[in-house]
Each structure stands twice: as structure tokens, then as C-alpha cells.
Chains A and B, each alone.
Chain A
Amino acid sequence: MPVRFDSDLARFEAACTAEEALPLAEWLETAAAPRVDLSACTELHTALLQLLLAARPALAAAPEDAFLARWVGPLLAKAG
């Protein structure tokens, strides 16, 4: 599974597709203090990105993928 959900930490791994959108939305709603770890994420589907922008979870680790690090990381860090 590209996204692994713990009680309040979600680890994004490799290519995370739209299939994760529903589980992610549910997790963001239920987790008390959600934190996300994007360090191993290589692709982040738009559906997931907009959920993160809406929920603004804390960023436990910024993405290392060059594209995400440059354009998405700062956006989420700002949000958190």
C-alpha cells in the first residue's frame, strides 16, 4: 500500500494514486493530530494534494522527490 496509516501518522510511499483519496480523507477526519510523512513519496496525486491542503495536517517529513520538494512541500509546510 502506497500510504500507510498509523493512528496519527500517515506515511506516503512511492507513487500515491487517487485510490488513496477515500482512505486518506477518512483518516484525516478521524485522526486526532494528523501528521504526514512525505519523504518517500515519489508521486502525489492531485486528489491527495487537495485533501492535504484542506485538512492541513502537520508535515512530519517533507518530500524528497525534487518536483514535490520544490512545488508542493513549501505549500504544505505553509499550510501546517
Chain B
Amino acid sequence: MSELFDQFIVEAQDLLETAGGALLALERDPADRASVDELFRAFHTLKGASALFDMAPFTRLVHAGEDTLSLLRDGRRALTPELADPLFRVLDQCARWVAALETAGALPDDAPTAADALVRGLAGDAAAEGTAAAGGEAEAFPWLAALTAEERAGAGDGRLTAIDYRPDPECFFTGDDPLALFRRVPDLRLLRIEAAEPLPALAEMDPYRCVLHFRALSGADAEAVRPAFRSVPDQVHIAAVTLKPALKPAVIPIAVAPPDSLAARMLEEQGRILELPGSAVERDSRRAAVARAVAAILASLGRPADRRMIEAACADAVTLHRFLAEGPARPATPESPPTAIPAARRALRVEPERMDALMALVGELSVVKGQLGPLLRRAEDGELATELRRDLKGFSARLDTLVGDLRHAALRLRLLPLARVFDPLPRLVRDTARRLDKTVELMLEGAETEADKDILDVLGEPLLHLVRNALDHGIEPPDRRITAGKPPGGTLRVRAFQDKGGVVVEVSDDGAGIDPAAMRRAAAAKGLLEPDAAAALSDADAVRLVFAPGFSTAGAVSDLSGRGVGMDAVRAAVERAGGRVEIASTPGAGTRVRLSLPLTLSITRVVVVEAAGALYGIPVALVGGIQRVPRAAIRAVKRAESVVLRDRVVPLVRLRRLLGQPEDVRVRESDCVVLAELGDGPVALAVDDVGERADVVLRPMTGVLRSLRGYAGTAALGDGRLILVLDLRELL
């Protein structure tokens, strides 16, 4: 890839980011001249830059955006939320394209159609969209021509509205449920649900990635259908079509070959061969011949397809026609890379002063290393041990300090401002609030607070969820707020600050708050707690129930909260990173959720323990004490053991048992016990032996090991031995 192209990618990413920020600012204050100018400049530059390369749909789209913006700039149009929506969509589409350009070097195949839809959206001329596509039914909806007789009968004839909906693979994360959208389509006559790409084996399937493609026909007008897809306009193509009464399926245009070309006629002929009467054996052999012929023709057209797919398509004439009308699926390679995009842009920007500090320390390290040589010589010369020991001690102390400083400097390199996780929030709040018909002001504080980049990665998803949750369940609709004597618009505050050795992020809203009484009732109704136990909960504990697995506070599951991550997942993610979650809520006044995370994940101090011959690490932060307990002091009721430690009765768990290792058969007078302080009380962990304490660099489990529960990661000890660091919360 040329340098110029690389530069365009970087520049386009920056420009799109700037434009997004300016558009948000402009929507808040439509009179903001500076933002209009900035937005216009960004589109203008994008147009110019993209024209240097072969990406006509991109240029066309930003050109249309520029036209719309020039109306804004000249004061001929004002920015309304209705106008902001398509502009945001244009920015989103451009960002997706830039990502595709970065990975694949070219725009995706559907770029021209996507650009057309968005350009029409900018013009605000929905009617034009319908008429433009009406004539070109086969072009825009090739599958229409290949409906089975049964599907045709169900759809009826005449004017219909065709819907082609290819959901964004990541759409589950934004709360979309593509199938549910079709419930809102009036007079649904046909719904075809197919895999957009060959379905992978179940074990390799990512359950949170949408791989389906929806095609539908409705008897209602396009205008009546469109509202159902209001939230996903860039993923759906809707247009009026006219279905001719079912004739012979001979009029099917064959997408893979030019009309009337020899190849097209040959392919049509293959369909007729399949329809010829004959015995089962005859038909089978014909099918095989047709499959070979189709494969050969497709290969000669430069569109080779998978043999199995062709064989499946040759089952009957209609299937073959459908297969040829849609064109064989392209190899899936250009489709799959997008998942890897987030990683591509993870360059770390480092302040020069931090680099300098690190360099200075490295210099010092060389000086200290230089002292080792003379010491070594003195030892070889047989110098007295006492003197040598004193100097060696001094050397060791200096090295210790230096290593500590170096580590600190290296960690500071990894510190990044929280702005990174705050950046997506304004747009998320804007879109979500608009979808929910609420007015919400977002206040961000402390974006300059720094945390380790691993912590930021942990923080991102839970933060998005908390914000979404506050918008969805916390802040009330304007009419209810007015009745409650509040201003109609809600306020959502996200605040970050540093706190002793860690970073704290608070998400607070001035919404309805959580009613502890309702929580108690729900807990009892869901069978999470006995009614008595629920009634005995303090208000604070009752509110904390939102973090219990399988608990949802809302009476009805809205389309936003019906997503994969619940509050229990937020808690789990934060606790896995060694952090804490607290919640405080006042009914009627609002809710505050506070996430406290350590400043860094990288270095963890662990106690090394031994069980069944293997070494494990337990984070020191969890260890309340280590002691030997005489066997006699351990009380056993059946297999449940307990021990009295520091005047408390503590349940005793044997690590060998937890890890599924054989019991220790050696007869011992006492057990080595590590007292672990977990969120829900202390646990005594019996181990074979306790070793040193060590600072280790914790490496999370990767690959197939990632799904392994109960381990926080692996780490290497000073002497090179590898240990598994236990995640006791998960293990117990």
C-alpha cells in the first residue's frame, strides 16, 4: 500500500472524529458557527482526499454531505435532529469504509448501493427512493425473481414493499434484535431468514455476532414499513416493487453473466435440463452433469464457486435460478477481517518526557552494571567475605531501587487518559436518548485522569453498559419528570478521578432511582431470596441486588436492555480486574454507580502456594493471613469443614479438592491455611505448602485457555518457573 494511501487512512480517521464531535456540538447549539465551519471543512477535505483514489462511492457520499452542509453554512437550512441523523449515518458509514480500506485496501462490494441509500437520506426525499427502485426490482432485489411458487402465492401480486435487511454483525451489542423488527412490519407477506455467510460449526460460532440476512415482502406502503427500521436505516434497503403474476421462471436475470451472453443462455439451459422429466436415476445423473457444467461456466466467468454449494443449488430448477440470480457467494475472506479492526488502531502515544525519563534510567542501569565487574574481580582475587558482602549489599540495594524506578517509568508509559473510554459516550447518549425520546445532558469530568491501558480496556464495556442502563432505566421520560417536579431533561454525569492507588469512575443520573421495596419484591418473586430474607435486607443491600446474576429491574425488557451484558456482568468484569463496584440510589432522586479499579493490572503481588506438586499464585490483595492450623482445630461436618480463625468461624476449603486433584494422603499434624478475604466473607484455603511472595507480571489466559474458569492468568516467577494465578472469586 502506498504511503499516500496510508496517510489518507490516518487523516480520514482524524477528520471523521473531528466531524463527529462538531456535529454533536452543533446539534446541541444549532447557532454554533465554528462547528458548522469545522464540519464543512472536514467533509470538504475528505472529498478532496478521497478523490485521489479509486473510491467513487466514498467521494460521492462525502460530496453529498458537503452539499447539505453548505445549506447549513449559508443559513438556508437549520440543523434539526432529523437532519443530524442522516449526517451521523454518513459519518458511521465512512468510518466503516475507512476501516475496510485499511484492512482490505478497497471498499466493500455493496458500497455503491450503501452510498446511494445514504445520499437519498441526506436529500430527505424518501419518496424518490421508492420510485427510483420501482423499475429496477430485479436489480435491487435479485432474490425477488427467484421466489418459489409457494412464496409467490403467499406474497400475492401487485404493488408490494420489499425489504432487504443485512444487520450489522455487531448489532447485538447496540441492543438490536433484527428478528423483532419484523414484528412491527405491517402486513408481512414473506420473511426469508438466511445465513449471510455459511454458518460456521457451532463450536466456532460467536453467539454475539449476527450472521443472518433478512428479506421480506409487505403488502403495506414503503412509508408504512420504514418506521419499523428507523433505528437501522443504513443496514436496510426498502423500496416499492411490483410483483408480476407468477409466470414461468424463465425471465430470471442471471446476475453472474451479462444478459443474452452465451454464458447466460447456457446457464438458463441448465435450469431447463433439470426440469426435464425422467426416472430418479436419470434425474440424478442429469443433476451431476448440470453441476459440472455450471461449475465450468462460472469458472470461465471468473466467478468460481464452492462445488458443494453448486451441487446443493442444482437440486431443482428454482434453486438453481435463485443461486444464479444472486450470484455465488464471494469467498468470505474480505468479510471476516472487520472484527480485527479495533486492534489495528491501538498505537500508543507516549509523551516525550516519559520516554526521556526511561532513557535516563536505562543509562543509570548501565552505570550500575559497570560496578559488577570490579566486584566480581575482587571476589576472584579472594578478598575477605565480610568486606565483599558489604559492597555487594550496597550494589543490590542500588539495583533494587533502579529496577523499581524502571518499572515505574515503564508503567507510566502505559498510562493513558480516560478520554479514550469517554470518547464514544457523547454519541452513544445522543443516539440512545433520541431513540428513547428522552432529553439527556451528558457531563463528562476528569477525562484527563490516567490509567493503565489494560484497565481502560476493562473499563470500556462496563461503562457503556452503565450509561445505557442509566438512560434506559434511570432517567424518566420528559412527561414523567415534569410530573415529578423535575426539569424535563435529565442529567447524566460521568466523572473520573484518581483515588489512593486506583482510578474511580462514577456514573450518576438524576432519574427515578431504584426502589428498595420493589427490589425486595422482585428478588422474592424471582426466587433469588426467601421472602423473609428479602424483607430483612437493608435498603442499601436491596439496591445492591441489581448486581445479582439473572436480575433485571425493569418490568418490561426494553429493546435496549435486552442485550447480552447485564449488571452482573459489569460487576464480574470489574472484579476480575481486581476492582470494586458500589451503588447508591435514592428513589426519585437518582442513582450513582461507582467503579473503583486499580491503577494497573500488569504487576500483581502474589503468594505462591503449592497443591499436589504444582505451584499457584494467590493475589496478596485477597490474603488476610497465613497460618498453620492443627488438624484437631478443624471441625468437619460431613465433608464441610470449618475452622476458627481470629474468633471467627471460617469455612475451610481444600485447594486440591477445588482443582479436582487427588486428596493429600500424607498424615500431617497441621494444615497450611491461607485466609482469603472475599467480597462475601472470608474463606480458609488449605494448601500443601506456602512459598514466597513475588511480584509477577500477570498474563491473561489466551486462546483456548481463555474459557478456563477459575484462573486470572499465568505468570513467571523470578527463577523462570511458571505459576497459574487463581481467581478465587470464580473458583469458590
Contact = CB atoms under 8 A, between A and B. Distances in A.
Interface of A: 1, 15, 17-19, 21-22, 24-25, 28-29, 43-47, 49-51, 53-55, 67, 71-72, 75
30 contacts: A15-B562, A17-B557, A17-B563, A18-B562, A18-B564, A19-B562, A19-B566, A21-B172, A21-B208, A44-B179, A45-B177, A45-B180, A46-B167, A46-B172, A46-B176, A46-B180, A46-B212, A47-B172, A47-B564, A49-B179, A49-B193, A50-B195, A50-B199, A51-B205, A53-B195, A54-B195, A54-B199, A54-B202, A71-B188, A75-B193
Contact of B177 (A1, A22, A25, A46): A46
B153 to A, nearest CB: 14
Contacts of B203: 29
B485 to A, nearest CB: 34
A24 B200 CA distance: 16
A44 B205 CA distance: 18
B207 interface: yes
A25 to B, nearest CB: 5
Contacts of A50: 195, 199, 205, 210-212
A24 to B, nearest CB: 7
Interface centre among B193, B203, B207, B210 (most CB of A within 10 A): B207
Contacts of B182: 67, 71
B158 interface: no
Contacts of A71: 182, 188, 191, 193
Contacts of B210: 46-47, 50
B487 interface: no
A17 B172 CA distance: 10
B638 interface: no
**Interface majority SS (helix, strand, loop, mixed), chain A:** helix
Contacts of A19: 562-564, 566
Contact of A45 (B200, B205, B562, B566): B562
Interface in B184-207: 188, 191, 193, 195, 199-203, 205, 207
A55 B172 CA distance: 19
A72 B202 contact: no
Contacts of A17: 557, 562-563
Contacts of B212: 46, 49-50, 53
B550 A25 contact: no
Contacts of B666: none
Interface residues on B, range: 20 to 34
Given A29-B202, A45-B562, 5 more contacts: A1-B550, A15-B557, A19-B566, A28-B202, A47-B172
A51 B199 CA distance: 9
A35 to B, nearest CB: 16
Nearest to A66: B183
B207 A51 contact: yes
Contact of A18 (B172, B188, B205, B550): B172
A17 B203 CA distance: 20
A25 B202 contact: yes
Nearest to B199: A54
Contacts of B176: 46
B617 interface: no
B547 to A, nearest CB: 15
